[in-house]
């Protein structure tokens, strides 16, 4: 299993590597938690336990990111709340159900991204137990 420093060192291209290192420091500062490398090249900060009405249960990252070659994926789990008012101030992005996509980290307002991560964690903690990593 690859450790976090080895994973970060292997991120390419060089711009994406720099962004990944910056995001790792950012998430550690914002959450106060250490990163854990998840399957699929996702760095997670904190975890949460869930049980669906179907009875299916599990554990997943509470927030984090994946430095994909095409764009950065930022995870705000599990995506229940409407963070539209925050997202309008973030900068250029696209969004999915529980993540948002940034082509360039420099196009995002980092203070707004911090606000989004904190709001996402607060919302998640209302629904599921969240644990530090």
Q: What is the pLDDT of residues 47-67, one digit of tens each?
A: 999 998 899 999 999 999 999
Question: pTM value?
Answer: 0.93
Q: How far is CA 42 from CA 7, 46, 56, 61, in A?
A: 10, 12, 22, 9
Residue 75, both tokens: 């995870």
Domain residue ranges in the chain: 4-131
* Per-residue confidence (pLDDT) for residue 58, from 0 to 100: 92
Task: Tell me the CATH class for 4-131.
Answer: alpha beta
The C-alpha atoms of residue 84 and residue 60 are separated, in whole angstroms, by 24
Residue 45, both tokens: 């900060």
Instruction: Give 2's pLDDT tier (boundaries 50, 70, 90).
Output: confident
The C-alpha atoms of residue 9 and residue 5 are separated, in whole angstroms, by 6
Q: Which of 28, 57, 25, 4 is nearest to 132 (CA)?
A: 28
């Amino acid at each position: 299993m690859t450790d976090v420093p080895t994973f970060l060192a292997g991120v390419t291209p060089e711009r994406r590597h720099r962004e990944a290192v910056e995001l790792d420091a950012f998430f550690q500062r914002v959450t106060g938690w250490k990163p854990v490398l998840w399957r699929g090249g996702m760095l997670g900060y904190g975890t949460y336990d869930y049980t669906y009405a179907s009875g299916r249960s599990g554990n997943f990252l509470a927030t984090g990111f994946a430095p994909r070659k095409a764009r950065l994926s930022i995870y705000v789990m599990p995506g229940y709340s409407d963070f539209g008012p925050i997202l309008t101030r973030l900068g250029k992005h696209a969004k999915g159900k529980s993540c948002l996509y940034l082509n360039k980290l420099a196009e995002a307002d980092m203070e707004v991204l911090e606000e989004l991560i904190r709001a996402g964690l607060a919302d998640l903690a209302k629904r599921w137990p969240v644990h530090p990593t």
